[in-house]
Amino acid sequence: MVLCSRTAVRTTSTGYINWIYHSYQKRCIHSSLWKSTVHEIKIQHKYQHRSVKTLLSTLDINQPLASLTSPSCIVPSFYKRAYSIHNDSKIASKGNIKPDTSSFRPIIRLPSMASTSTSDPAPSEPAPESQSESRYEPRYIDVGINLTDMMYQGFYHGRKVHEVDLENVIQRAHAVGCKKLMVTGSDYKASVHAVELAQSYPGVIFATVGVHPCSASELIKTAGGVSNIRAALKDIETLALEGKARGTVTAFGEIGLDYDRFYLSDQDSQLRVFEEQLRIAEKIDLPLFLHSRAAEEDFNRLLFAANLPRKGLVHSFTGTLEEMHTLVNAGFDIGINGCSLKTEENLAVVREVPLGHLQIETDGPWCEIRATHASAAYLKNMPSYLTETVPKDVKKERFQLGMRVKGRNEPCAIAGVAWVIAQVKGVTFEEVCERSWANSMNMFRYDEAAALQEAWAKENSNGTDAVAVAAGGDGA
C-alpha cells in the first residue's frame, strides 16, 4: 500500500514523525511530502510535547537524505513493525510500508498536506485498513481573528479578570485543524502588535495592517486635523510594506466603512480615511481586508473607483443578496463568521455565496454563534470528533488555564462556522473547508509569506535556523 503525499496522517505525534522519517529514508514517499512535513514540524514544534521535541533533536531533519542511513533514532517497536510490513509487501524495490497506527490517531484522508504539493504524483491510495475510522480531517484558516484584543490577555472592559491565555487559544486552534490565523490590525498600535504576533509564530500567524473605520475619528484627532491624514497614514504604509517584504503582513486592512457605529467614528472621518487608505492600497500591492456595514453605496462607490492591483475580502459579511453578488462579480471574496449566520435572512445570503468566493473566519473575540441565532440549529448534528479537542467554556470569573471563556469567541470555533455553511448550502463539510482554504491561500499567498518569513529569519540569525527544533516554548 503506497501512502502517497495526498494521503497523509496529520498529527504531531512521535509515531507519525517516526513513520514519515522512516518512510523518507526508504524512499517510499515523495520527497516533497517529507519537505512539507519538515516545514510543518518546524512551524508546529512549539505546540508539541517534550517527547516530540526530544525525538526531533535526535532526527536531524536538516540532514540530506544520503546521510540518513541508520534507523537507530527510530523507536524500536515502531521500526520492527514498519520493517516487517516492508518485507511482507514483497515490493522492496519501491519500499512501500504502512504506518504503525498503534501509536497515533487514525489515518485521515487529507487532499493535500501542503498547498504547494502540485508536483506530487497523482493520488493512488486505496482506503486505509481502518476504514471505519477514515474520515476527513479538516483544515481551516481563520482569516479574521483579533488576537490583539485584551480579552486574550484576560482583560474585560479594562479590568483584569484572569491570566493571559493567548498561547492556549492558539494551541486550541491548532488542535482543531485551524492551521493559519490572520490577525486583524485595526489601527497603528494594533497593527504593530499583529505584526509582532506574526513574527512570534512564523508560518502560523499573519497580520493585516490598516485603520478600521471605527478608528478614523481618532486618527484624525491625533493627526491634528483632516489635512494631516496622509502624513498620519505614512506609518501604516511603511509598516505594511516592511511586513510584506518580511512575510508577516499578508493584507492591507481592516479598512472600510461602518455606518452602524457613528458613535465611534463620524461619517466624514470614515470616508476620508477609507479613501486615503485606498490610495495607499493602489501602491502597495497587497490584497485588502475590508469592512462594510450599512454603507453599501459609499463603500462600493469608493472601492470600485480605486485602481487596485489586488482584490480582497469583505469580511464579516452581513449584507444583502444583491450586495453580495455585486462584490463577487467585481472579484471580491466574502468572509463568513458567526455574525454572518445570525438570522434566516443572513443564511439565505450565505446559501448563495459561490464556493469560489467564500472564506471563513471567527472574528474572535466577537461574532460567536449563539444559541439564539438561526445558525445554532445546524450545530446540533455536528459530529463530535470535530470539536473533541475543544475544552468546555466557563464564566470568566471561574476561569482556569486551559478552559475557554463563555462569550469570548476564539479560532477553535471555526469548525462550527464551516459546518453551518455546509449544512445551509447543502454541500459537504469537506468542500466548504477545502474551497475556503484554497481561496484564502490564493488571495493572501500564505505560502509565499511563510517562505519570506523563513528567509528573513535566517538572514537575521547569523546563519542559524531561527525556527530550529531545539528552540524553547514547550506546548503545555
- Residues 373-392 interacting with Zn ion (rule: CB under 5 A): none
- CA 272, 334, 440 angle in degrees (round to 5)? 105
- Residues 7-36 interacting with Zn ion (rule: CB under 5 A): none
- Could you tell me which stretch among 284-292, 323-331, 420-428, 468-476 binds Zn ion (CB under 5 A)? 284-292
Nearest CA to 199 out of 168, 164, 239 is that of 239
Give least dist CB 215 to Zn ion, A.
11
Give least dist CB 245 to Zn ion, A.
26
Separation CA 12–CA 34 (nearest Å):
14
Residue 137 vs 410, nearer CB to Zn ion = 410
- Residues 75-94 interacting with Zn ion (rule: CB under 5 A): none
- Could you tell me which stretch among 5-13, 237-245, 286-294, 410-418 binds Zn ion (CB under 5 A)? 286-294
- CA 330, 246, 315 angle in degrees (round to 5)? 30
Give least dist CB 217 to Zn ion, A.
16
Interaction between residue 291 and Zn ion (CB under 5 A) = yes
Interaction between residue 293 and Zn ion (CB under 5 A) = no
Detail the DSSP E strand segments found in 348-428. 358-360, 393-394, 404-405
Separation CA 151–CA 149 (nearest Å):
5
262 SS3 class = coil
Q: For residue 101, what are the contacts with CB-CB under 8 A and spacing of at least 6?
A: 107, 129, 130
Residue 2 vs 251, nearer CB to Zn ion = 251
Give least dist CB 473 to Zn ion, A.
31
Residue 9 vs 360, nearer CB to Zn ion = 360
Residue 79 vs 317, nearer CB to Zn ion = 317
Dihedrals phi, psi of 10, to nearest 5 degrees: -105, 100
Give least dist CB 254 to Zn ion, A.
5
Cα dihedral 206, 170, 459, 63 sign? negative
Residue 18 vs 318, nearer CB to Zn ion = 318
Cα dihedral 451, 457, 463, 465 sign? negative
Give least dist CB 366 to Zn ion, A.
9
Give least dist CB 289 to Zn ion, A.
8
Residue count, binding to Zn ion (CB under 5 A):
2
DSSP string, 118-148: GGSPPP-PPPPS-GGG--B---EEEEEE-TT
List the end-to-end C-alpha distance of the chain, in Å, as a whole number: 36
Q: From residue 421 to residue 450, what is the string marking binding to Zn ion with x (rule CB under 5 A)?
A: ------------------------------
- Could you tell me which stretch among 29-37, 62-70, 225-233, 290-298 binds Zn ion (CB under 5 A)? 290-298
Give least dist CB 28 to Zn ion, A.
47
Instruction: Output the CA torsion 238→241→245→248 (10° steps).
Output: 90
Separation CA 30–CA 119 (nearest Å):
9
- Residues 316-375 interacting with Zn ion (rule: CB under 5 A): 316
Residue 112 vs 316, nearer CB to Zn ion = 316
Residue 9 vs 281, nearer CB to Zn ion = 281
Give least dist CB 369 to Zn ion, A.
17
Residue 12 vs 362, nearer CB to Zn ion = 362
Cβ(172)–Cβ(410) below 8 Å: yes
Q: Which residue is nearest to Zn ion (CB)?
A: 291
Parallel/antiparallel/unpaired status of strands 155-156 and 159-160: antiparallel
- Could you tell me which stretch among 56-64, 280-288, 291-299, 446-454 binds Zn ion (CB under 5 A)? 291-299
Separation CA 296–CA 31 (nearest Å):
49
Interacting residues with Zn ion (CB under 5 A): 291, 316
